[in-house]
Amino acid sequence: MIISIVGIVLIFGTIFISSQFRSNNTAPTGNDKVPKASLPATPITQPPPRFKLPPPPPKITKTIEARRGDTFVKLLLRAGVSRLDAHRATRALGKAYRPQALKEGQLIRVNFQTKSWGVKSGNFIGFEFTPNINKILKVRRTDTNLFTLQKIKVLLERVDNRISGSIDTSLYLAAVKSGMAPSSLVNLTRLFSWDVDFQRDIRKNDKFDILIERLHLENGQFKKWGQILYAELVLSGKPIRLYRMKTQRYGVEYFDERGRSAKKALMKTPIDGARLSSGYGRRRHPILGYTKVHRGVDFAAPRGTPIYAAGNGIIRYVGRKGAYGNYIKIRHNSTYSTAYAHLRNFSRNVRTGRRVTQGQIIGYVGSTGRSTGPHLHYEIIVNGRQINPLKLKLPSGRNLRGNALKSFLNIRDNLKERLSRFPK
Ligand SMILES: [Zn+2]
């Protein structure tokens, strides 16, 4: 590489040398080290001046956000990486990250080494991203054609936190006032979605009280809110308490005081943040004009709001169905089915005959079929006949017995003890 001294400027007796590298046409070397400007062999002035070398040219990072249907190769191409390098770098991820796991909104930092100051581009030297809160995956160019993966573990500390409040006008406002993060409130309402209809059952002076983990870095920097360990809702003076238990076999579950599952067979409201816009029963049809029995409930929600499978089950129908528009029917067991109508579109892996789990996103709110605006028409079908979902007494899920119950009671008592360390 040929180095030329471009200019020597004398300022207050100190000489700064700015150097410029002539661009070479060889393939990127991948070497992070960039040659420093060498000093001329013969002194320029007498006595020899003190030279101050310019700092090495900087690395630049472009942050790219994953779009729907993106792959790492597409992302890297968008950042200006060559196709060959994009493929090589992506391959370095190997089994550490399933390409299908790349989600819309994931941020990828793409790194380049510039050759001199003031230049806006450089050689691609790798990329990095944080697939989850306690891991960083970093792909670095270690040779001309070689990229290697580095997995960096981020240690997080979990600290108990108690948040409680009383509802004045809305649960949302009370939660925000108490310092609860909106994401934790969503988790809280989801926990109780088998017991509580949050549109109808919440009254002034109802209370909530939760024990939740806060995740910190080792230096104390807050990272995010963790899992809800314990939650209590007091509705019209009646408390409902749920305790978290994690097992190898069943994952995270919540149980009441006596080890009965928080999960009921079906969700009353298979959608978040929706407003009940039309109940079950006789009504004047908004389009047809005459009185007709409305065999479901309508939840008004913005177009695109996710719709959840109300319970574990098997998809029996997915597609257009007359006035229902885009329609899904799930059979949960020999007695219960649920149906969802007017959807904008379906989730990718929802097909007839596929099994879905409770809370899984099956589609998105729309206004297809005979509909006046975006809403979910939701039906619960018992032995082939629609019933009023809001009147249904829901049967309970897994109830603990024997050793499972014993372990749960230990966990419950431990959580109670941890809760009691905080004054209410
Ligand atoms: Zn309807």
pLDDT digits (tens, 9 = 90+) for 128-181: 999 887 889 999 999 888 999 999 998 889 999 999 999 988 888 999 999 999
* Residue where one domain finishes, among candidates 12, 27, 52: 52
Distances (CA, A) of 9 to 17, 92, 246: 7, 46, 68
CA of 360 to the centre of ligand 1 (A): 22
Percent above pLDDT 70 for the chain: 85
Domain identity same for 368 and 291: yes
pLDDT tens per residue across span 44-70 = 455 555 667 777 888 999 999 999 889
Give the residue among 178, 171, 173, 228 at the shortest CA–CA distance from 200. 171
The answer to whether position 421 is within a domain reads no
Name the percent of the chain lying above pLDDT 90. 48
Range of the domain at 243: 160-255
Instruction: Please state the domain count of the chain.
Output: 4
CA of 297 from ligand 1 middle (Å) equals: 5
pLDDT in the model for residue 33: 42
CA of 324 to the centre of ligand 1 (A): 9
In a domain, 269, yes or no: no
Say how many Å lie between the CA of residue 288 and the centre of ligand 1: 13
Residue 305 CA to ligand 1 centre (angstroms): 16
What residue has token string 């029995």? 293
Contact 325, 369 (CB under 8 A): yes
Distance, CA of 123 to CA of 262 (rounded, Å): 54
With the C-alpha atoms ordered 157, 162, 165, 170, is the resulting torsion angle positive or negative?
Answer: positive
∠ at Cα 46 (41, 51), nearest 5°? Answer: 60
Mean pLDDT of 243-270: 86
The 10 Å Cβ neighbour count of residue 423 is 5
Where residue 228 sits, what CATH number does that domain have?
A: 3.10.450.350
What per-residue confidence (pLDDT) applies to 292? 76
If you measure from the C-alpha of residue 57 to the centroid of ligand 1, how many angstroms do you get, rounded to a whole number? 63
Averaged pLDDT, 373-395? 87
| Last residue within a domain, chosen from 106, 136, 153 | 153
- The verdict on residue 409 lying in a domain is no
Quote the ligand 1 centre to 311 CA distance (angstroms). 20
pLDDT band at 13 (very low <50, low <70, confident <90, very high): very low
Residue 34 domain-assigned (yes or no):
yes
Cα(186) to centroid(ligand 1), Å = 25
23: in domain: yes
- 118 against 323, higher pLDDT: 323
User: What are residue 138's DSSP bridge partners?
Assistant: 128, 150
Give the pLDDT band (50/70/90) at residue 414: very high
394 pLDDT band, cuts 50/70/90, is low
12: left (phi over 0), alpha (psi -120 to 50) or beta: left
pLDDT of residue 250: 81
The answer to whether the beta carbons of residues 221 and 284 sit under 8 Å apart is no
What confidence category does residue 18 fall into, taking pLDDT thresholds of 50, 70 and 90? very low
Distance 341 CA to ligand 1 centre (A): 8
